[in-house]
Amino acid sequence: MSETTTIIAEIREDVGKGASRRLRREGKVPAVIYGGRKEPVSLAVQHNDLLHATENEAFYASILELKVDDKKAQQVVVRDMHRHPFRPLIMHIDFMRVSAAEVLKISVPIHFVGEEESPAGKASGVVIQHQVTDVEIAALPKDLPEYLTVDLSEMEAGDSVMLADIPLPEGVEIPALTVDEELSVQVASAIHVKESQGTGAAAAAEAEAALAEGELGAGEELAEGEEGAEPEEGVEPEEGEKEGEKEGEKEGGE
């Protein structure tokens, strides 16, 4: 466990859209704390301090200390956070109180290790894909890990790692698997990649084959939406086309 992050907040009495806009102009973020069999409380947090805290990955998947108006700190987790669509601004954040005796469900990141040392990582034409990068776990606050580790050092080409294969610390469960083992999804896989994959080479080869078989006449355009239509080598455009081009050049130059 890394050092606990402490968030300083203050109670706000003024609520609503107008009040939230005023808070943001003052460099603060509207916030709410709820849960723990207590009433929700509206808060305000200094924006820059909060933004700095969010740069740490553990902020989203660990227990934080929330200190309100110089009172005793409360243990909380982040339940929701809204960011501005394109500016580096946090618009709103929700905290949930944590009880030491209650199981907590939270999403934690997956860290993949040993990828470069694995047989698949060293093989030519093989790519290791990460299909899942975070997973929801259930644990008491004292057992909550900041992340789960998946070791790929033994992965061979064609291998895959399933959700059920992830080693879990003591006291930690993956709720989806306790409901149904068949919900185990692929977390990582090592696949062979063809040279032409994703380059459009296959489409070009099909077009050339069609021309060779006479399916497309010389100079005939591809169907609407297809790309790569080019004049066949050695075929001159018709006279009408040449004249149309010259007229277009004259009009464009006037």
Question: Does residue 93 sit in the same domain as residue 111?
Answer: no
Residue 185's CATH number:
2.170.120.20
In a domain, 184, yes or no: yes
Per-residue pLDDT tens over the stretch 100-126: 899 999 999 999 999 999 999 999 999
Question: Does residue 84 sit in the same domain as residue 117?
Answer: no
Mean pLDDT in residue range 36-58:
93
Mean pLDDT in residue range 75-101:
94
How high is the pLDDT of residue 72? 86
In a domain, 222, yes or no: no
Higher-confidence position of 231 and 205: 205
Question: Does residue 15 sit in the same domain as residue 90?
Answer: yes
Domains held by the chain: number:
2
The token duo for 123 is 């093989």
Interior/surface letters 60-83, b for 16+ CB within 10 angstroms, e for the rest: bbbbbebebeeeeebbbbbeebee
Which domain-ending residue is among 63, 97, 131?
97
Domain span holding position 17:
6-97
Distance from C-alpha of 127 to C-alpha of 168, rounded to nearest angstrom? 26
Identify the band that residue 53 occupies on the pLDDT scale cut at 50, 70 and 90: very high
Which stretch of 74-83, 171-180, 217-226 has the lowest confidence by average pLDDT? Answer: 217-226
| Residue 96 predicted with pLDDT over 60 | yes
The token duo for 83 is 């960011």
Contact between 30 and 23 under an 8 Å Cβ cutoff? The reply is yes
Question: Does residue 111 sit in the same domain as residue 158?
Answer: yes
Per-residue pLDDT tens over the stretch 9-31: 999 988 888 999 999 999 999 99
How high is the pLDDT of residue 214? 52
Per-residue pLDDT tens over the stretch 150-161: 999 999 999 999
Distance from C-alpha of 103 to C-alpha of 84, rounded to nearest angstrom? 32
Long-range contacts at 120-123 (CB < 8 A, ≥ 24 apart): 120/152, 120/155, 120/156, 120/157, 120/159, 120/190, 121/152, 121/155, 123/157, 123/190
Mean pLDDT in residue range 183-188:
88
